[in-house]
Amino acid sequence: MADEIEEDSDEVTLNSDRITEIIDEVMKATLNNMTWNSKKVEPWTNGIIEHCLKRLAEMKKPFKYIVTAVLMQKTGAGLHSAFTAYWDNSADGICSVPYENETIHCITTVYGLKLD
């Protein structure tokens, strides 16, 4: 009986650890060893978002995912991100993961909204 409850609770809660792993893997695969090039920002951003969405869909959980990625050239200035939302704190959630190398700052965020 306890196994059923855990299994059911996995279905209704956002697995932020797994989502963080996915985001981190996708950003590293896309941006690792890359040097800032403003002409590549759009393909990098699209690639990060598309790969994250594909990997999240493969989890087959009852969530609608919204993914955003912000890239900025690393010049000594900071990159900050904030959000506000009106949602069900017991079921919906957010995972935001920063990445940086010598020339690029990136913040990728996944919003998970439980489907009823």
- Inform me whether the pLDDT recorded for 92 exceeds 60: yes
- Give the chain's count of helices (H) and strands (E): 3, 3
What is the reported pLDDT for 12? 63
For residues 107-112, average pLDDT: 96
- Inform me whether the pLDDT recorded for 94 exceeds 50: yes
Q: Tell me which DSSP letter residue 115 carries.
A: -
Q: What is the pTM of this model?
A: 0.85
The 10s digit of each residue's pLDDT in 16-50 is 999 999 999 999 999 999 999 999 999 999 999 99
For residues 73-95, average pLDDT: 87
CB of 64 closer than 8 Å to CB of 53: no
Distance, CA of 34 to CA of 32 (rounded, Å): 5
Any idea where the domains of the chain sit in the sequence? 16-114
What is the reported pLDDT for 1? 37
Distance, CA of 39 to CA of 41 (rounded, Å): 6
Averaged confidence pLDDT in the chain: 88
Secondary structure string (H, E, C) spanning 32-81: CCCCCCHHHHHHHHHHHHHHHHHHHHCCCCCEEEEEEEEEEECCCCCCCC
Residue 40 gets the label, from left (phi > 0), alpha (psi -120 to 50) or beta, of alpha
**CATH code for the domain defined by 16-114:** 3.30.1140.40
- Inform me whether the pLDDT recorded for 13 exceeds 50: yes
What is the reported pLDDT for 87? 86
